[in-house]
Structure 1
Amino acid sequence: MTNPLVEAYANALRAMEGSAPKGLLRRAQVEAEDIVPEPDVSEARLREHLEASDQDDRLRVALTLNMGRWGNAPVEGNPWTAGTRANSAERRELIIELLKIEAETASAFSVHFPLAKGDGTTVIAGPWEPWYTMEVQRDRDFYWGHYIEYLRTRRNWGAQAITTLDTATTHIVERLVNPSRAKAGQTKGLVVGYVQSGKTANFTGVIAKAIDAGYRLIIVMTGTTNLLREQTQRRLDMELVGRENILRGVDESDPGAAQIIDYLDDDDDWNNDRFVRHGVRPSEVGKPDIHRMTTQRRDYRRLQQGLPALEFERRDRTKQLWHPDNLFTSDARLIIVKKNTSVLNNLVKDLKNNADKLDDIPTLIIDDESDQASVNTTDPRKWKEEQKKRTAINQHLSNLLHILPRAQYVGYTATPFANVFVDPSDDEDIFPKDYLISLERPEGYMGADDFHDLDLAIPDSEKTFANSKEKAHVRLVGKQADEDDEAEEDDLQDALDSFVLAGAIKLYREAHGAKPFKHHTMLVHEAMRKAAHKTRSESIQDLWNVSGYLSGGASERLRQLFLDDFAPVTAALDLGHAMPASFDDLVPHLGVAARQIAPNGNPVLVINSDKDIEQENLDFDKRPVWRILVGGNSLARGFTVEGLTVTYYSRNVGHSEALMQMGRWFGFRPGYRDLVRLFVTRKVRDAFEAACRDEEEFRRELRQYATMVDGRPLITPKDIQPQVMRHGGLRPTAPNKMYNARLVERRTRTKEPSSGYPNLDDQSALSHNIDACRPLLKAAKHHTSLKAGRTFEALTGTVTHKEMIDVLSELKWAKDDTFTADLAWIASLPEDIVDQWHIVLPQQKTGRRISIEGVGEFTVHGRKVEKENRIRGNSESAHRKALDDLADKTPTSGCAILYPVMDKDRPDVEVDDDGYPIGVVMALMLQLPDAAVPDDRKPLVYKVQIPEKPYYALVDEPSKP
Structure 2
Amino acid sequence: MGDIDATALLEIHTSALAGMGTNPRSFANWANVAAEDYPDADLSEEVFRTQLVSGGEALKALWSRHLTAWDFAEAPQWAPAIPARTDERRTAAYDRLRFGSDLRKALDAVVPVAKIPGPTVITRDFTPWYTPERAAARSFYWRSYEQKLRSKGWSEAAVASLDEASRAVVERLTDPEQPAARQAKGLVVGYVQSGKTANFTGVTAKAIDAGYRLVIVLGGTLNLLRAQTQRRLDMELIGQENILRGADITDLDSLVGIDYVGDDDSDWPEFVQHGGRPSVLGAFDIERLTTRDNDYKSLAQGIRALEFEKREPTRPLHDPANLHHTAARVLVVKKNKSVLTKLVKDLKQIHGLLGELPTLIIDDESDQASVNTLDPKKWEQGSTERTSINGLISQLLKLLPRSQYVGYTATPFANVFVDPGDDEDIFPSDFVISLPRPIGYMGAQDFHDLDSAIPREERTYANSQEKAHIRDICESTGDRLQEALDAFVLSGALKLYRADHGVHDGPFRHHTMLAHQSVRKDDHADLALLINSMWHQAGYSSAAGHERLAALWASDFSLVSDARAADLPAPASYEALRPYVNAARQRIGSGGQPVIVVNGDSDRYFDQLNLDFDRTPHVWKILVGGTKLSRGFTVEGLTVTYYRRTTQQADTLMQMGRWFGFRPGYRDLVRLYIGREEPFGRNRYADLYEAYEAICRDEETFREQLAQYAVAVDGMPQVTPAQVPPLVAQHLPWIRPSARNKMFNAELVEVRSPGRPIEPASYPVSHTVLKRNTERWRPLLNALGTEPTAFTNPPDSSSTLPRTFEALTGTISHSELVSVLSQLEWERPGHFDPHLTYLSQLDGTLAKVDDWLLVSPRLAANKRVEARVLGSLPLSLVRRTRQSGKTSFGRIASVEHRAAAQRLIDEASSSAEARPHRNPSIGPTTGVMLLYPVVEGDSHADVHAVVRNGTADPSKIVMAFTLIPPASAVDSDRRLVRFRARDSRHSGAATIPVSSS
- TM-score, scaled to structure 2: 0.73
Matched with 2:377 is 381
Change (3 A) 1:218 1:161: same
Change (3 A) 1:697 1:307: closer
The amino acid of 1:677's aligned partner reads: R
Change (3 A) 1:815 1:709: closer
Give the superposition deviation at 1:822: 5.7
Matched with 2:708 is 704
C-alpha contact 2:188 2:432 (8 A) present in aligned 1:
yes
Match among 613, 617, 621 for residue 610 of structure 2: 617
C-alpha contact 1:573 1:674 (8 A) present in aligned 2:
yes
Match among 823, 835, 844 for residue 816 of structure 1: 835
Is structure 2 residue 651 aligned with structure 1 residue 651? no
Structure 2 matches for 1:854-933, cutoff 5 A?
A: 911=918, 921-923=967-969, 925=971
**Separation (CA, whole Å) in 2 of partners of 1:57 and 1:712:** 41
Change (3 A) 1:178 1:804: farther
C-alpha contact 1:299 1:336 (8 A) present in aligned 2:
yes
Give the superposition deviation at 1:69: 4.2
Number of matched residues?
A: 809
**Separation (CA, whole Å) in 1 of partners of 2:418 and 2:284:** 36
**Separation (CA, whole Å) in 2 of partners of 1:510 and 1:252:** 34
Is structure 2 residue 562 aligned with structure 1 residue 571? yes
**Separation (CA, whole Å) in 1 of partners of 2:116 and 2:992:** 37
Matched with 2:402 is 406
Deviations 1:698-738 (A, max 9, x none): 11222221222466633211112233267765557689977
**Separation (CA, whole Å) in 2 of partners of 1:55 and 1:921:** 59
**Separation (CA, whole Å) in 1 of partners of 2:298 and 2:981:** 50
What is the DSSP-based 3-state SS (H/G/I as helix, E as strand, rest coil) of the residue aligned with 1:455? coil
Matched with 1:123 is 121
Matched with 1:262 is 259
What is the DSSP-based 3-state SS (H/G/I as helix, E as strand, rest coil) of the residue aligned with 1:402? helix
C-alpha contact 1:756 1:814 (8 A) present in aligned 2:
no
Is structure 2 residue 540 aligned with structure 1 residue 549? yes
The amino acid of 1:618's aligned partner reads: L
Is structure 2 residue 150 aligned with structure 1 residue 161? no
The amino acid of 1:672's aligned partner reads: Y
**Separation (CA, whole Å) in 2 of partners of 1:345 and 1:336:** 15
Match among 717, 733, 742 for residue 713 of structure 1: 717
C-alpha contact 2:698 2:728 (8 A) present in aligned 1:
no
Is structure 2 residue 697 aligned with structure 1 residue 678? no
Match among 654, 667, 671 for residue 661 of structure 2: 667
C-alpha contact 1:168 1:439 (8 A) present in aligned 2:
yes
Change (3 A) 1:100 1:954: closer
Matched with 2:597 is 606
The amino acid of 2:147's aligned partner reads: E
> Is the deviation greater in 946-955 or in 177-186?
946-955
The amino acid of 1:922's aligned partner reads: S
C-alpha contact 1:312 1:331 (8 A) present in aligned 2:
no
Structure 2 matches for 1:242-391, cutoff 5 A?
A: 242-256=239-253, 259-266=256-263, 269-271=266-268, 273-303=269-299, 308=304, 313-354=309-350, 357-391=353-387
The amino acid of 2:488's aligned partner reads: F
Matched with 1:138 is 136
Matched with 1:183 is 180
Match among 411, 417, 420 for residue 421 of structure 1: 417
Matched with 1:500 is 489
Matched with 2:695 is 691
> Is the deviation greater in 654-663 or in 464-473?
464-473
**Separation (CA, whole Å) in 1 of partners of 2:385 and 2:627:** 27
C-alpha contact 1:756 1:815 (8 A) present in aligned 2:
no
What is the DSSP-based 3-state SS (H/G/I as helix, E as strand, rest coil) of the residue aligned with 1:182? coil
Structure 1 spans left out of the alignment, 5+ residues: 482-486, 744-752, 763-802, 828-836, 838-868, 871-898, 928-939, 956-961
**Separation (CA, whole Å) in 2 of partners of 1:736 and 1:232:** 29
Match among 61, 65, 68 for residue 62 of structure 1: 65
What is the DSSP-based 3-state SS (H/G/I as helix, E as strand, rest coil) of the residue aligned with 2:369? coil
Deviations 1:439-478 (A, max 9, x none): 1111211111211221226565443322321121111224
What is the DSSP-based 3-state SS (H/G/I as helix, E as strand, rest coil) of the residue aligned with 2:476? helix
Give the superposition deviation at 1:631: 2.3
C-alpha contact 1:64 1:160 (8 A) present in aligned 2:
no
The amino acid of 1:496's aligned partner reads: L
**Separation (CA, whole Å) in 2 of partners of 1:637 and 1:143:** 29
C-alpha contact 1:740 1:950 (8 A) present in aligned 2:
no
Is structure 2 residue 635 aligned with structure 1 residue 641? yes
C-alpha contact 2:356 2:402 (8 A) present in aligned 1:
yes
C-alpha contact 2:215 2:360 (8 A) present in aligned 1:
yes
The amino acid of 1:703's aligned partner reads: A
> Is the deviation greater in 102-111 or in 123-132?
102-111
**Separation (CA, whole Å) in 2 of partners of 1:40 and 1:237:** 46
Give the superposition deviation at 1:48: 3.9
C-alpha contact 1:738 1:954 (8 A) present in aligned 2:
no
**Separation (CA, whole Å) in 2 of partners of 1:132 and 1:685:** 44
What is the DSSP-based 3-state SS (H/G/I as helix, E as strand, rest coil) of the residue aligned with 2:371? coil
C-alpha contact 1:649 1:678 (8 A) present in aligned 2:
yes
The amino acid of 1:73's aligned partner reads: A
Change (3 A) 1:294 1:45: farther
Matched with 1:511 is 500
> Is the deviation greater in 133-142 or in 55-64?
55-64
Change (3 A) 1:624 1:740: closer
Change (3 A) 1:443 1:90: closer
Deviations 1:173-200 (A, max 9, x none): 1111111111111111111111111111
Give the superposition deviation at 1:349: 1.7
Deviations 1:600-636 (A, max 9, x none): 2211222343768996501212211111122234322
Matched with 2:169 is 172
Deviations 1:151-190 (A, max 9, x none): 112x211121112111111111111111111111111111
C-alpha contact 2:691 2:732 (8 A) present in aligned 1:
no
What is the DSSP-based 3-state SS (H/G/I as helix, E as strand, rest coil) of the residue aligned with 2:267? helix
Give the superposition deviation at 1:589: 1.0
What is the DSSP-based 3-state SS (H/G/I as helix, E as strand, rest coil) of the residue aligned with 1:351? helix
C-alpha contact 1:242 1:276 (8 A) present in aligned 2:
yes
Structure 2 spans left out of the alignment, 5+ residues: 677-686, 760-812, 823-831, 849-897, 900-906, 929-963
Deviations 1:817-852 (A, max 9, x none): 44467679959xxxxxxxxx9xxxxxxxxxxxxxxx
Change (3 A) 1:279 1:810: farther
What is the DSSP-based 3-state SS (H/G/I as helix, E as strand, rest coil) of the residue aligned with 1:713? coil
What is the DSSP-based 3-state SS (H/G/I as helix, E as strand, rest coil) of the residue aligned with 1:135? helix
Matched with 1:595 is 586
Change (3 A) 1:28 1:808: farther
Deviations 1:49-102 (A, max 9, x none): 4443569953134213431244x226xxx4x55766666777656544544555
CA RMSD of aligned residues (A): 4.2
C-alpha contact 1:740 1:952 (8 A) present in aligned 2:
no
**Separation (CA, whole Å) in 2 of partners of 1:944 and 1:648:** 40
C-alpha contact 1:398 1:428 (8 A) present in aligned 2:
yes
Larger Rg: 2
Provide the identity percentage. 47
Deviations 1:310-340 (A, max 9, x none): 7672111111111111111111111111211
Matched with 1:230 is 227
- TM-score, scaled to structure 1: 0.76
The amino acid of 1:546's aligned partner reads: Q
Matched with 1:215 is 212
Matched with 2:891 is none
Give the superposition deviation at 1:496: 0.8
**Separation (CA, whole Å) in 2 of partners of 1:554 and 1:726:** 45
**Separation (CA, whole Å) in 2 of partners of 1:459 and 1:811:** 40
Change (3 A) 1:254 1:165: same
